[in-house]
Structure 1
Amino acid sequence: MQAPITTLEGTWTLAFADVQHPDGTRGHDYGDSPKGVLQVDHAGHYAMFIFNSARPKFAANDRSKGTPEEFRAALMGTSSHFGTVMIDPATHTLTFHIEGATYPNWEGTTQVRHYQMSGGVLSYQVAARPNGDIPLTGWKRVTP
């Protein structure tokens, strides 16, 4: 049964953005010190942004004149999407209805993620990638 979104409502800052490899080891998915924010309103609308803070700046100082390497680093160093989210405490699931995303294949999809809430950190894992890596994400609520 879906719960009131007030459980998630507010602003969250990124606690970690890691990846679990098929061999069981864990690494950083967006560099050593990623940045991110998750905002959820009273109706369940959300916006999420994760950035590798070590993304290189474009040498030309013009976003339309990046090199292939700069474009790749910019895209692979970010993950953002928005839409609506629902929470089901009974099954410990978050259901994201993704309207827009930096990865266009996610647009218009619904993704269910199992979550845990421990020590003030909301954490979940994303479905495994084709190479078997499993992204792990954690958020801490921002207190006013």
Structure 2
Amino acid sequence: MNLIHRRRLGASAALATMLLATTATAAEPPLAGTWALTAADRLAPDGSRSRDYGVHPKGRLIIDGQGRYSLQIFSGERLRVASGDKATATPDELASAAMGSSTHYGTVAVDTAAHVLVFRIEGASFPNWEGTEQRRKYVLTADSLSYQVPTPRADGSVPISAWRRER
């Protein structure tokens, strides 16, 4: 392989990496970065919106330049484990910990045609999500990202997450 061909391949690889770190259009900012949770809500079938992870949810979403991500959402009102030992937690304490958190990691990409984020989930606190792909409609600005989980829950509500870019 000659020097010119190697330079072209290198430039092509750099361009591909740069495109992955950006989103659907040139007008949108890059998706890569660190995001702080600002809302973890649910949209009811009647259009009303309410808190899903308590009054003071907390969380972090980190996306690197290659599209790898790690996401954590926690209810601010989870019960503390009185014994201080997870192995001896009460059923209520364990339920609060499980139902008051949502974590997963894998890769995320942007489907420009459908304007959706495509999460390919490798590991999750909810094991049924592992090995799945989830497509979520999103809105992205320079400092905010929000998206909806695609499938309504049994009660018909749809989870919505909102994030603020950390600088």
Which category of TM-score, normalised to the shorter sequence, fits these structures?
A: over 0.9
Larger Rg: 2
State the distance in 2 between where 1:17 and 1:71 align: 21
- SS in structure 1 of the partner of residue 98 of structure 2: helix
Once residues 35 and 53 of structure 1 are traced to their aligned partners in structure 2, the CA distance between those partners, rounded to angstroms, is 6
Mind listing any 5+ residue stretches in structure 2 that lack a counterpart? 1-18, 23-29
1:28: which partner in 2? 51
How big is the alpha-carbon RMSD for the aligned residues of Structure 1 and Structure 2?
1.3
Aligned to 1:76: 99
Match of 2:120 among 75, 89, 97: 97
Q: How does 1:1-144 map to 2 (within 5 A)?
A: 3-6=19-22, 7-118=30-141, 120-126=143-149, 127-143=151-167
Please give the TM-score of this superposition, normalised by the length of structure 1.
Answer: 0.92
Q: Does the 8 Å contact 1:47/1:82 carry over to 2?
A: yes
Higher helix share: 2
- Worse-matched range after superposition: 70-79 or 86-95: 86-95
Rate the CA distance shift 1:98–1:72 in 2: closer, same or farther, 3 A.
Answer: same
1:4 shift after superposition: 2.0
Give the drift of 1:24.
2.2
> Which segments of 5 or more consecutive residues in structure 1 lack a partner in the other structure?
none
Alpha-carbon distance between aligned partners in 2 of 1:141 and 1:12, rounded to the nearest angstrom: 4
Between the two proteins, what is the percent identity of the paired residues? 47
Answer yes or no: is the 8 Å Cα contact 1:125–1:135 preserved in 2: yes
Q: Identify the structure with bigger relative contact order (alpha carbons < 8 Å, sequence gap 6+).
A: 1
Q: Which runs of 4+ in 1 moved over 6 A?
A: none
Counterpart CA distance in 2 for 1:36 and 1:19 is 16
